[in-house]
């Protein structure tokens, strides 16, 4: 059977979640691999959530927020950047393949970008195969 990656997505309410909504209303095609969790701002996404998702066997984790200058709370996404840069590095050190984590700025008008990112990410994960941390719970 073909491997269908399971992506946990954390999306800020004001931009990336709105972008996902737009992708839906525009009927853009993208794989049904992502489960989106809406958060008020990407600055609210704790590295702990990402690590927990990966440890629980998510094949990939996507973090989405507003572009710089657009964050509804002014600087939430700057904080996101300062954390995610480090998350990227640390999960690699812990032995998680770097391709399993991705963070992107996607605005409310970028439905197209949302669909593209999810499609591309799903392809990468298909190549990587299932998360070795899956199961064993």
- State the residues that interact with ligand FES by CB under 6 A: 12, 14-15, 41-43, 65-66, 71-73, 76-77
| Partner from other proteins, ligand FES, none contacting 36, C-beta within 5 to 8 A by type | none
| Partner from ligand FES, other proteins, none contacting 79, C-beta within 5 to 8 A by type | other proteins
Among 52, 99, 109, 123, binds other proteins (CB under 8 A): 52
Distance CA 86, CA 62 (A): 15
Could you tell me which of 33, 27, 95, 30 has the C-alpha nearest to residue 62?
33
In 29-94, the DSSP E strands lie at 34-39, 60-65
- CB 48, min distance to other proteins, A: 4
69 sits near other proteins (criterion: CB under 8 A): no
Distance CA 63, CA 101 (A): 8
Under 8 Å CB-to-CB from 37, ≥6 apart: which residues?
8, 9, 10, 11
Which residues in 78-97 contact other proteins (CB under 8 A)?
79, 81-83, 85-87, 89-91, 93-96
CB 5 within 8 A of CB 60: yes
| Partner from ligand FES, other proteins, none contacting 130, C-beta within 5 to 8 A by type | none
């Amino acid at each position: 059977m073909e491997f269908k990656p399971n992506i946990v997505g954390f999306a800020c309410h004001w931009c990336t979640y709105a972008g996902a909504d737009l992708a839906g209303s525009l009927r853009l095609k993208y794989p049904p691999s992502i489960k989106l969790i809406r958060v008020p701002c990407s600055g609210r996404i704790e590295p702990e959530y990402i690590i927990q998702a990966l440890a629980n066997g998510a094949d990939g984790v996507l973090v989405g927020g507003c572009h710089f200058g657009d964050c509804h709370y002014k600087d939430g996404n700057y904080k996101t950047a300062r954390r995610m840069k480090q998350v990227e590095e640390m999960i690699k050190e812990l032995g998680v393949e770097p391709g399993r984590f991705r963070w992107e700025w996607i605005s409310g008008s970028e439905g197209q970008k949302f669909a593209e990112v999810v499609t591309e990410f799903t392809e990468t994960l298909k190549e990587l195969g299932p998360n070795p941390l899956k199961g064993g719970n």
